[in-house]
């Protein structure tokens, strides 16, 4: 997902230290028909990554914030949340770890926002919970079948 104009997608904000878990969820979300934007797949060599990230947040339909102790220590995650807030993006916090304490840098931004707690559920249930919280239309992930030729 490149986040170009006209695309509908969700921006994923997370700590790189949580990549393994976020990778599984991102793949499952994409397989469920929800296009996602991630830095590791959408920022290419030679790109100005900060500019790419800001543009992606500006164009996103929603901002998924994967909350973990690692994310709460990440300056980049904090910056991404600030940009999402400035751009009036809908922020959906996804709790990866129940031990995560919301850092002071994040508390004001997340005050009163309902979390999606996927910390103790299987990936398929986590995806269903995230999709339910987003309430966005999803694309059919299966390609259309070719029309059958009528029998002669």
Kindly report which listed range (21-25, 62-66, 139-143) carries the lowest average pLDDT score: 139-143
Q: 33-66 pLDDT, tens per residue?
A: 999 988 665 554 555 667 888 888 999 999 999 9
Residue-wise pLDDT tens digits, 110-132: 999 999 999 999 988 999 999 99
Q: What predicted TM-score, i.e. pTM, was given to this entire model?
A: 0.82
Mean pLDDT of 95-117: 92
Q: How far apart are CA 16 and CA 6, in angstroms?
A: 28
Q: 10-134: which CATH topology? A: Rossmann fold (3.40.50)
Lowest mean pLDDT among 15-19, 79-83, 99-103, 126-130: 99-103
For the chain, which residues make up each domain, given as ranges?
A: 10-134
Q: Which of 78, 75, 115 is nearest to 97 (CA)?
A: 115
What pLDDT, on a 0 to 100 scale, did the predictor assign at position 38?
A: 83
Which pLDDT score is estimated for 87?
Answer: 95
Share of the chain above pLDDT 90, in %: 63
Report, in angstroms and rounded to the nearest whole number, the Rg of the chain calculated over CA atoms: 17
Is residue 36 classed as helix, strand or coil in its secondary structure?
Answer: strand
Which positions ≥6 away from 80 have C-beta within 8 Å?
11, 13, 53, 57, 63, 65
Contact 31, 84 (CB under 8 A): no
Distances (CA, A) of 54 to 57, 100, 120: 5, 26, 32
């Amino acid at each position: 997902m490149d986040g170009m104009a006209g695309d509908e997608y969700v921006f994923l904000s997370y700590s790189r230290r949580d990549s393994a878990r976020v990778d599984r969820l991102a793949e499952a979300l994409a397989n469920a028909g929800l296009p996602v934007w991630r830095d590791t797949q959408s920022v290419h060599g030679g790109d100005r990554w900060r500019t790419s990230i800001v543009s992606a947040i500006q164009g996103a339909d929603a901002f998924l914030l994967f909350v973990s102790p690692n994310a709460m220590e990440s300056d980049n995650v904090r910056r991404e949340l600030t940009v999402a807030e400035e751009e009036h993006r809908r922020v959906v916090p996804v709790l990866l770890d129940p031990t995560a304490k919301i850092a002071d840098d994040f508390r004001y931004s997340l005050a009163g926002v309902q979390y999606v707690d996927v910390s103790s559920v299987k990936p398929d249930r986590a995806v269903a919970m995230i999709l339910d919280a987003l309430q966005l239309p999803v694309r059919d992930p299966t390609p259309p079948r070719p029309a059958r030729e009528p029998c002669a």
